Structure 1
Amino acid sequence: MQHNKDLTYLKNIATYLQKMLKFSDGLTLEEFRENEMAYDACVLNFINVAESFKLLSSSFKLKYPTIPYHKIMGLRNIAAHTYEGLDATILYETIKKDIPFLAVEINNILKNEQ
């Protein structure tokens, strides 16, 4: 039963990651900073990613230790608790450098687990 919940959370995570990539696609850092809708949408989706990761079972997290759970939660805490303090540069760089790799990893896990 927990396996099915984990798969549901992973599917949600994959969706949130794709939305972040879509909402920031083609934007420079400056454009991302100035585009309130894109920035806000990415913040919200990042928080959703982290919240979904938090719900994954311990056995799942042990099985897939390469996912940077603590880093994701750390940035989520900044985004959720100090919204004005979240540096757009950090979020943008995370989206451009880390999210594509995380999206591929999540999609690969989904293929292997189904």
Structure 2
Amino acid sequence: MSSRDWRLRRQDILKAVEGIHQRTATLTLEEFESNDTIVKAVLFDFIVIGEASRNIPMAIQARYPHSPWRLMNDMRNIAAHEYFRVNLTLAWRTIHNNLPPLIAPLQQLLAAELVEP
């Protein structure tokens, strides 16, 4: 069991998504791929997203089945353990197609869970 409250973990996910957006918003795929510092920062944020998501209690995850909990953790596992398999084009697509839709549900999740014990 993690010593960090799941609500803070949810905030960690949102902060990491925002960090990725800030680092990549003005870049093209080619600029992203050629900037090792940005790539490493983004991959670290993907690791944070995955680690935080897997520490959201299963009961909370079950109440929000449309959030891609497993996929967030899977991306973390590849970035952390199989870094040599990271596909930057896929990471780029994830940044633009999959991260933005996470924001509203994560914000709603906390608001909804604040009223419950």
Would you call these one fold, judging by a TM-score over 0.5?
yes
In structure 1, C-alpha distance between the alignment counterparts of 2:23 and 2:29, rounded to whole Å: 13
**Unmatched segments (≥5 aa) in structure 2:** none
How far is the alpha carbon of 1:111 from its aligned partner?
2.9
Q: Equivalences for 1:1-114 in 2 at 5 Å?
A: 5-114=5-114
Which has the larger displacement, 44-53 or 104-113? 104-113
Equivalent residues of 2:33, 2:39 under 8 A apart: yes
Instruction: Quote the sequence identity (%).
Output: 26
Between Structure 1 and Structure 2, which shows a larger proportion of helix residues? Answer: 1
In structure 2, C-alpha distance between the alignment counterparts of 1:9 and 1:74, rounded to whole Å: 17
How far is the alpha carbon of 1:31 from its aligned partner?
0.7
Hey, which bits of structure 1, 4+ residues long, moved more than 2 A? 110-114
In structure 2, C-alpha distance between the alignment counterparts of 1:57 and 1:13, rounded to whole Å: 14
Give the structure, 1 or 2, with the largest relative contact order (CA under 8 Å, sep 6 or more): 1
**Unmatched segments (≥5 aa) in structure 1:** none
The alignment's C-alpha RMSD in Å is 1.7
Instruction: With the length of structure 1 as denominator, give the TM-score of the two structures.
Output: 0.89
